[in-house]
Chain A
Amino acid sequence: MTDESTTTDSATGDFISRQVIVASENGLHARPAGRLAQEAQSFESAITLVHQDQEADAKSILDILTLAAEPGHVLELRATGADAEEALTRLEQLFKNKFEG
Chain B
Amino acid sequence: MADAIITGIPVATGIAIGKAYFVNRNHMAHLPRQTVAAALVPDEIVRLHEAFATVESELTVIREQVPEELKSHGSLIDTHLMMLKDPKLSKTAEGYITSLGLNAAWALEKAVADQEAAFDAIHDQYIRERMQDVRVVADRVQTKLMGVETDLTAISGRAIIMAHDLTPADTVELQVDKIMAFATVRGGKTSHTGIMARSLAIPALVGVDKLEDSVRDGDLVIIDGLAGKIIVNPTESELEDYNERAAKFETYSRKIKRQCHLPAETFDGSRVQVLSNIELVEEVAAVLDNGGEGVGLYRTEYAYLNRTELPTEEELTEKYIDLASIMYPRKVVFRTLDLGSDKFIASFGELNEANPAMGLRAIRFCLKNPQLFKTQLRAILRASAYGNVSMMFPMISGVKEVRQAKAWLAQAKAELRREGLDYDPNMPVGTMIELPAAVMIADFLAHEVDFFSIGTNDLIQYSIGVDRTNRHVSYLYQPLHPATLRAIKLVVDAAHQAGIEVSLCGEVASDPFCVPILLGMGIDSISMTPQAIPGIKRIIRQINMHDCRILLKDVLECRTVSRINNLVMDNIFKHFPEEVSFFSSLLENDELPS
Contacts and interface: CB of A to CB of B under 8 A. Distances in A.
Interface in B89-108: 89
Contact of B88 (A41, A62, A70): A62
B127 A41 contact: no
B133 interface: yes
A57 B130 CA distance: 18
Interface string B433-445: 0000000000000
B126 interface: yes
Contacts of A59: 86-87
Given A65-B127, A65-B130, A41 B119 contact: no
Contact of B122 (A26, A61, A66): A66
Contacts of B83: 61-62
Given A62-B83, A62-B89, A68-B127, A30 B119 contact: no
B307 to A, nearest CB: 11
Interface in A6-30: 25-27, 29-30
Count class of interface residues, chain A:
20 to 34
A34 B89 contact: no
A30 B122 contact: no
A30 B128 CA distance: 11
Interface string A44-73: 000000000000010111110110101000
Contacts of A89: none
Contact of B115 (A26, A33, A41, A62): A62
Contacts of B119: 65-66
A41 B87 CA distance: 10
B369 interface: no
A37 interface: yes
Interface in B118-133: 118-119, 121-124, 126-127, 130, 133
A34 B133 CA distance: 13
B78 A34 contact: yes
Interface in B297-319: 312, 314-315, 318
B464 to A, nearest CB: 44
B581 interface: no
Given A68-B124, A68-B127, A61 B86 contact: yes
A87 B347 CA distance: 40
B134 interface: yes
Contacts of B122: 66, 68
A62 B85 CA distance: 10
Count chain B CB atoms within 10 A of each CB in A29, A57, A59, A62 and give the residue with the most.
A62
A38 B87 CA distance: 12
Given A31-B79, A65-B119, A68-B123, A26 B315 contact: yes
Contacts of A31: 75, 78-79
B82 interface: yes
Contacts of B79: 30-31, 34, 61
A33 B124 CA distance: 15
A85 B446 CA distance: 65
Contact of A66 (B87, B89, B118, B315): B118
Contacts of B123: 68
Contact of A37 (B82, B89, B118, B130): B82
A29 B122 CA distance: 13
A61 B126 CA distance: 14
Given A25-B315, A30-B133, A34-B79, 17 more contacts: A25-B312, A25-B314, A26-B315, A27-B124, A31-B78, A37-B82, A57-B88, A59-B87, A60-B87, A61-B83, A62-B86, A62-B89, A62-B134, A63-B88, A66-B127, A68-B122, A68-B124
6 contacts: A26-B126, A34-B78, A38-B82, A57-B87, A62-B118, A68-B124
